[in-house]
């Protein structure tokens, strides 16, 4: 081998070594977005909880850019729609967690659809809660692969494959793998993690987006006994209140719930350890952007960092959550960002880092976090964040807030209340929202209220809210269609009741359908099964005693949009089905 050839090889080796870091930076990063369900700000060792064991997440926090004033919506489905779209949830048609209001409009552009522009492989594992039927499922919104449960939680009424399992709904479940039912063995958080790891392994050669959305530690509080045993003897109320942070008194039930929650979080932490180990084994750690966050505050009373309020509340205990971003190839970790940021900002941030365009035909409410990560705070003008939570639709000034420039105005009052009935806090000096400043600063409170009014009035006229998304029935994309209780509208608070008025909002393709009506409990014989659909009414007598399924064969529907209103009339009662299956037969 001559000297010239050796020089050439040496030069190429040097070039490779010196450009490796830059080459990795120029590659699209893999993205793993991790979100847990009802895990509050205080459910981590890193945020000051001495009882819960989270060494993996604590290590991630130390290695990450930490956004210490990060906010979400007070409840889960609105948070998820904003996270996926960069838009206030009301713009997306999302107005509730059930009651027919937890379906995101299919014209929304998700993170997955955005990243598809750069040929990302996309997978969703765990909780979706943005629509269980076409055209709102993960597969309809940009995800190549999905393993999910239905509705807002396993064991809840909308998740028809786990509801009847009772206190074992988190174990050995039937889940939905690419829209088909599939049986799995094991505990839900373990299953979702293993499926995410399999997805990463299959797509390791190209950029991927993995959305790992644990349903834990949401109720029902079910956890493997090996984890519960670690916490069964602890006092979750011990060790708090001495540092000046407010701490709510815990009942014995609160304490037992906390033990189970900490066990569930401990299990999540172990699963994330497996996931990160897989990245190391595949040598993907450096060029993988990892985000960890939660969807809202805790549902039960326990340590929440001294903050006021729980899940569902616009006080900080309901809406402030941990948010850690780690991307070793581009950003040095172990950094704190104190600027107010939110779930709305995730899509714009990934747009900038992954160099893909955001949608240009709609309002994006979020902003890229990249300037804050890179220390360019001057590029971030102060902005406001709007919060609300009430069932069905926003109720003016009832559990509503706006936050801007360190101040927060909270309404827990009537639609025509005077400004004195609101609460005003200066969070930089009063992070626990204890001192109401409204009487001494009415002018500022009025300014914030006017801005709250403007945002509210704009959002309640959103196209996807005024003309809400409908479930499509009879298309080749999903046949049969199962309409579940989570998506049933009607009476406020409809859940698993039998004697209640309910309906499903649908668009039906013309044709003949075989229909199954499933009931919570078996019904009596000699009642009438009635189905109303706009001007059409179909009824038949049921002669079977103690049956929980009634069938109607070859029911003709014209092409129609409207409400399906089924009920079983017997003994002067109208019983609403638990779910309804429609199969187009021709």
CB atoms within 10 A of CB 149: 28
**Angle at which helices 188-202 and 252-281 pack, to 10 degrees?**
20
Contacts 24+ apart (CB under 8 A), 235-243: 236/51, 236/262, 236/302, 236/303, 238/51, 239/50, 239/51, 240/303, 243/306
Is 386 a residue whose pLDDT tops 50? Answer: yes
User: What are the tens digits of pLDDT across the range 416-427?
Assistant: 999 999 999 999
Q: Which pLDDT belongs to residue 353?
A: 97
User: What are the tens digits of pLDDT across the range 228-269?
Assistant: 999 999 999 999 988 889 999 999 999 999 999 999 999 999
Rounded-to-integer distance, Cα 134 and Cα 478, Å: 6
User: What are the tens digits of pLDDT across the range 429-460?
Assistant: 999 999 999 999 999 999 999 999 999 999 99
Instruction: Report the chain's mean pLDDT, rounded to a whole number.
Output: 94
Q: Which pLDDT belongs to residue 554?
A: 97
User: What are the tens digits of pLDDT across the range 408-417?
Assistant: 999 999 999 9
Confidence class for position 5, pLDDT limits 50, 70, 90: very low
State the pTM of this model.
0.94
Q: Which pLDDT belongs to residue 10?
A: 41
Of residues 13, 33, 12, 15, the one with CA closest to residue 23: 15
Quick one: average pLDDT of 91-112?
97
Tokens 């509210």 — which residue? 456
Confidence class for position 15, pLDDT limits 50, 70, 90: very low
Q: Is 578 exposed, middle or buried (0-12, 13-18, 19+ CB in 10 A)?
A: buried
Q: What residues contact residue 262 under an 8 Å CB cut-off, 6+ apart? A: 43, 51, 52, 53, 231, 234, 236
Domains of the chain as residue ranges with CATH: 28-379 (3.40.720.10), 384-465 (3.30.1120.10), 471-584 (2.60.120.260)
């Amino acid at each position: 081998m001559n000297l010239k050839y050796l020089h050439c090889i040496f030069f190429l080796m040097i070039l490779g070594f010196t450009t490796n870091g830059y080459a990795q930076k120029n590659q699209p990063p893999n993205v793993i977005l991790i979100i847990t369900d009802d895990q509050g700000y205080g459910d981590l060792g890193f945020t000051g909880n001495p009882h819960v064991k989270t060494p993996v997440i604590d290590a991630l926090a130390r290695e990450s850019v930490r956004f210490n004033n990060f906010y979400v919506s007070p409840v889960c489905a609105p948070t998820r729609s904003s996270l996926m779209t960069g838009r206030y949830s009301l713009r997306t048609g999302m107005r509730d967690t059930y009651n027919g209001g937890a379906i995101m409009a299919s014209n929304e552009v998700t993170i997955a659809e955005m990243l598809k522009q750069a040929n990302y492989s996309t997978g969703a594992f765990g909780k979706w809660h943005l629509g269980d039927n076409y055209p709102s499922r993960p597969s309809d919104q940009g995800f190549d692969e999905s393993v999910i449960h239905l509705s807002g939680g396993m064991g809840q009424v909308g998740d028809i494959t786990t509801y009847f399992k009772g206190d074992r709904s988190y174990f050995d479940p039937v889940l939905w793998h690419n829209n088909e039912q599939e049986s799995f063995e094991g505990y839900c958080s373990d299953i979702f993690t293993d499926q995410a790891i399999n997805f990463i392994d299959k797509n390791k050669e190209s950029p991927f987006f993995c959305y790992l959305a644990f349903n834990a530690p949401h109720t029902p509080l079910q956890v493997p006994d090996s984890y519960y045993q670690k916490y069964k003897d602890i006092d979750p109320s011990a060790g708090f209140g001495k540092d000046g942070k407010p701490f709510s008194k815990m009942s014995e039930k609160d304490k037992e719930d906390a033990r189970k929650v900490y066990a569930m979080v401990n299990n999540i932490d172990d699963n994330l350890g497996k996931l990160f180990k897989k990245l190391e084994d595949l040598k993907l750690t450096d060029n993988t952007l990892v985000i960890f966050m939660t969807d809202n505050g805790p549902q039960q009373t326990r340590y929440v960092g001294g903050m006021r309020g729980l899940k569902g509340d616009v006080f900080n205990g309901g809406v402030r959550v941990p948010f850690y971003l780690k991307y070793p190839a581009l950003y040095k970790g172990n950094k704190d960002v104190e600027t107010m940021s939110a779930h709305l900002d995730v899509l714009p941030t990934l747009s900038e880092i992954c160099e893909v365009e955001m949608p240009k035909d709609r309002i994006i409410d979020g902003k890229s976090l990249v300037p804050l990560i890179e220390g360019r705070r001057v590029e971030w003008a102060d902005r406001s964040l709007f919060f609300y939570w009430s069932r069905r639709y926003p109720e003016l000034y009832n559990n509503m807030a706006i936050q801007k420039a360190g101040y927060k105005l909270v309404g827990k009052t009537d639609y025509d209340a005077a400004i004195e009935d609101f609460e005003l806090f200066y969070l930089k000096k009063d992070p626990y929202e204890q001192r109401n400043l409204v009487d001494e600063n009415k002018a500022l409170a009025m300014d914030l209220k006017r801005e709250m009014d403007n945002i509210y009035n704009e959002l309640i006229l959103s196209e996807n809210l005024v003309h809400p998304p409908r479930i499509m029935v009879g298309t080749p994309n999903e046949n049969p269609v199962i309409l579940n209780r989570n998506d049933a509208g009607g009476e406020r608070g409809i859940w698993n009741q039998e004697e209640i008025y309910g309906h499903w909002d649908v668009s039906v393709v013309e044709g003949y359908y075989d229909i199954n009506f499933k009931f919570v409990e078996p019904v009596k014989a000699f009642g009438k099964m009635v189905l109303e659909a706009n001007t059409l009414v179909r009824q038949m007598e049921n002669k079977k005693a103690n049956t929980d399924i009634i069938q109607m064969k070859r029911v003709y529907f014209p092409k129609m949009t409207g409400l399906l209103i089924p009920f079983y009339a017997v003994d002067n009662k109208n019983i609403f089905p638990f779910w309804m299956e429609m199969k187009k037969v021709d």
